Amino acid sequence: MDVYFYSMRYLAIIMLLVFASCKSEPKVEDIDLEIHTNFDSFEKYLQIKDDKTYVVNFWATWCAPCVKELPHFEEIYSNYKGKNVELILVSLDFPKQYDSKLKPFMIKNKIKGKVVALDDPAMNVWIPKVNEDWDGGLPATVIYNKDKSEFFYRTFTYEELETELKQFLN
């Protein structure tokens, strides 16, 4: 009886460990990526007039400075998401690489902020709408709320990004 009891207990523990370790990781096909093929459909993300402050970062997986600063944006998202701050990461990756590069990157780096892809080839038309002085280089960031907006064509450390964000929260 004791051998049977301990065998069943051992088997139950093994099964519990197996099921606990089978937590499924997200798959590329599970990633919900909002794709905008023209700037007009995306532009709403630069003009929301509510009580929140928006941090909109233009980036791409092929942009080394973008990838380097992305964890700082994710940390801002985590630290401020309950404080009326929204993060929108605007990927300028190539459409043919959404499934092969962008989505795997999002999974690997556990991106929690909202990611939208912008694929409007008329860059000479929409880039000045984001900021008239922007030449389209990456990374670029817009921080705004209903009262003010500021454009940044630079990379950020966490401290620099938080300092800029706090100016919108006071």
Q: What is the CATH number of the domain that holds 81?
A: 3.40.30.10
CB distance 39 to 120 below 8 Å: yes
Give a yes or no: residue 133 inside a domain: yes
Q: What is the pLDDT of residue 170?
A: 75
**Count of the separate structural domains present in the chain:** 1
d(CA 4, CA 8): 6
Give a yes or no: residue 12 inside a domain: no
CB distance 118 to 36 below 8 Å: yes
Among 55, 58, 56, residue whose Cα is nearest residue 139: 58
CA-atom Rg of the chain in angstroms = 21
Query: What tens-digit pLDDT sequence spans the chain (170 residues)?
Result: 566 555 656 555 655 555 555 556 778 777 879 999 999 999 999 999 999 999 999 999 999 999 999 999 999 999 998 999 999 999 999 999 999 999 999 999 999 999 999 999 999 999 999 999 999 999 999 999 999 999 999 999 999 999 999 999 97
Among 69, 28, 38, 54, residue whose Cα is nearest residue 151: 54
Q: What is the pLDDT of residue 78?
A: 96
Task: Note down the domain range covering 97.
Answer: 25-169
Give a yes or no: residue 18 inside a domain: no
d(CA 160, CA 102): 26
d(CA 41, CA 164): 27
Q: What is the pLDDT of residue 27?
A: 84
